[in-house]
Amino acid sequence: MPHFEESIRKTIHIGSAVFPMAVIVVHNAYPVSGRLYLSGSLALLAVVLLALDFLKARYRPFKSFMMRFFGKVLRKNELQGGMTASTILVASAAFTILVFREEIAVVSLMYLSLGDSAAALVGKHFGRIRLVGQRTLEGSLAAFNTCLLISLFALWASPEFGWRFTPVTLIVGSLVATLSELFYLPLDDNFRIPVFAGLAMELVLPG
């Protein structure tokens, strides 16, 4: 995919940072039930997007409609009937928010929206040293540094939000998020980045 079209995709991807921001807002407004409702709402949205993916794969008129408006930002496998990245991303956000504690859900989803985008943008435009498949050293370093910046902000904001992050927890989360983006696994990276990073931080974070 040309660099300009990938840039458009990742600009949209960065917009998914609204999900972790929503976790903070909803949790502050409704501490007991807010995250459950948010997770449920995102799960419902994922079902709707999945239905649209089904229509795209099965009905040519709908596929033509999608091609007309979104063809430039859809990957080849998505155009051929595969599940779109947006569907997986929304489902991933719903799962992450439901399973992990507030602070870990927020940071894990920020790793996905910003760290993954940094890896793709830097790797596509400046990547020279190949590591795994199309992944590059420059892209992975951009992802790791971005995740570390997110972690620094989370550590600074922890007293304000009552979070219990430690530096070790966030370094582990940043590293796992970066490795989850780097290595090709059966799970889509929109799912494995927040889930693997969140699981690692849950295992390291006390309490």
Higher per-residue pLDDT: 18 or 53 = 18
pLDDT tens digits, one per residue of 118-157: 998 899 889 899 998 889 999 999 999 999 999 999 999 9
pTM score: 0.90
CA pair distance 189, 182, nearest whole angstrom? 9
Summarize the confidence of residues 45-62 as an average pLDDT: 87
CA pair distance 162, 165, nearest whole angstrom? 9
CA pair distance 55, 77, nearest whole angstrom? 15
**DSSP assigned state of 71:** G
Does residue 203 surpass a pLDDT of 90?
yes
| Residue position matching structure tokens 């948010």 | 38
| Residue position matching structure tokens 């501490």 | 31
Does residue 92 surpass a pLDDT of 50?
yes
CA pair distance 127, 25, nearest whole angstrom? 37
pLDDT tens digits, one per residue of 161-178: 999 999 999 999 999 999
Using 50, 70 and 90 to split pLDDT, how confident is the model at 81?
Answer: low
Joined together, the tokens standing for residue 151 give: 């972690």
pLDDT tens digits, one per residue of 35-53: 999 999 999 999 999 998 8
Phi and psi of 114, rounded to 5°?
A: -100, -45
Mean pLDDT, all residues of the chain: 89
Does residue 69 surpass a pLDDT of 70?
no
DSSP-derived secondary structure for 79-143: HTTPPPHHHHHHHHHHHHHHHS-HHHHHHHHHIIIIIHHHHHHHHHHH--SB-STT-BHHHHHHH
Using 50, 70 and 90 to split pLDDT, how confident is the model at 1?
Answer: very low
Neighbouring C-alpha atoms within 13 Å toward the C-beta of 23: 24
- Alpha-carbon Rg for the chain, nearest whole angstrom, is 17
Does residue 3 surpass a pLDDT of 60?
no
Start-to-end C-alpha separation, the chain:
44
Q: What is the pLDDT of residue 109?
A: 98
Distances (CA, A) of 188 to 89, 178, 203: 9, 14, 22
Using 50, 70 and 90 to split pLDDT, how confident is the model at 61?
Answer: confident
pLDDT tens digits, one per residue of 94-110: 999 999 999 999 999 99
Residues facing 136 on adjacent strands: 130
